Amino acid sequence: MSKPSPSDKAYVPFVSVDNMMKLIHHIGIEEMLVGLATYIEEDFKRWELFDKTPRVASHSEEGVIELMPTSDGEVYGFKYVNGHPSNTKQGLQTVTAFGLLANVDNGYPVLLSEMTILTALRTAATSALVAKYLAPKGADTMAMIGNGAQSEFQSIAMKAIVGIKNVRLYDIDKAATAKAAKNLAGLGLNVVECDSAEASMEGAQIITTCTADKQYATILTDNMVGAGVHINAIGGDCPGKTELAPAILERSDVFVEFPPQTRIEGEIQQMAEDFPVTELWQVMIGTAKGRTSDTQITLFDSVGFATEDFSALRYVRAQIEGTDYHQPLDLLADPDDPRDLFGMVRRAAPS
């Protein structure tokens, strides 16, 4: 019997963790990051078609569980994701996730996928896509402050999409830095392990902060940031969690995904409600300016938005077509007569 295609209504294609890893190696991680960035950019450029709402969050002292829904009018998507910084102490991931796409016209799901790995990929692809628009021309060095689960993806994406050649790593946990340096070895980057955040920023045109503690923190103080850099702030992503001194924001041109969400969860939660920001989609379609001078500090206040997950799922759905990197999931009841669900159940009784 031939394997049904992902469009077969009798089942939902499911991309497991194992198949996601196989898909990455089949495509190549750099090519996949470039592909994801292309889909994300395409969807930013049709921003006005999407339903947009801040993610639905359930907060606790330990972390947050969120749903991130959106639709372009033809396809609906959502991601379930958690963020629990203390999980690593128990040997668990800080972030886990899964996502779904469905047809708007009939409500039937068309893809279910793991998104723990995919979220790391789409976050890195988004960071590098934004840096392509905002980083100084010819940027070749990035400081990677916070060397946890995201750091290698961020570094490889910046290489593949922006063209950086050097990554300077720093984490308060030296074991994390050693882990990242080992993982990045042989991947075409010059990797330097640094003893302080200040040291990691020497010669860097791009500064990425990605720390996990759920608290107001100051990873970068005002005097650490010179003119002309691009800051990729991805660690502050929920209320009460920040990484940058407010004075840095005051000196920067700040770019965001969806202001109503970023003002709650991003670095700008520290600022007044009317603090000026520029929406990324406007830069990408050319109605707003990005980098305008060599001395300008640009800051991407990244919190992650549902359209990026939608783009990532859309990309995966296209890539698995005609491959074995998915499995049929018996998720949908499919009675011969759609009005006779009970009859379907009754006929399934053991003889």
Helix, strand, coil shares, percent, the chain, to 5: 35, 25, 40
The DSSP secondary structure of 273-314, one letter per residue, reads TT---EEHHHHHHTSS-----SSPPEEEE----HHHHHHHHH
Place of tokens 């990324």: 280
Catalytic residue among 237, 253, 301, 309: 237
Three-class SS state of 276:
coil
List phi, psi (to 5°) of 238.
Answer: -160, 160
Q: Clarify whether 324 is annotated catalytic.
A: no
The answer to whether the CB of 256 falls within 8 A of the CB of 233 is no
Angle, nearest 10°, between helix axes 116-134 and 29-44?
70
Report d(CA 266, CA 231) in Å as an integer: 13
Helix (H) or strand (E) holding 15, with range, is strand 12-15
- Joined together, the tokens standing for residue 291 give 């980098």
- Active site members: 237
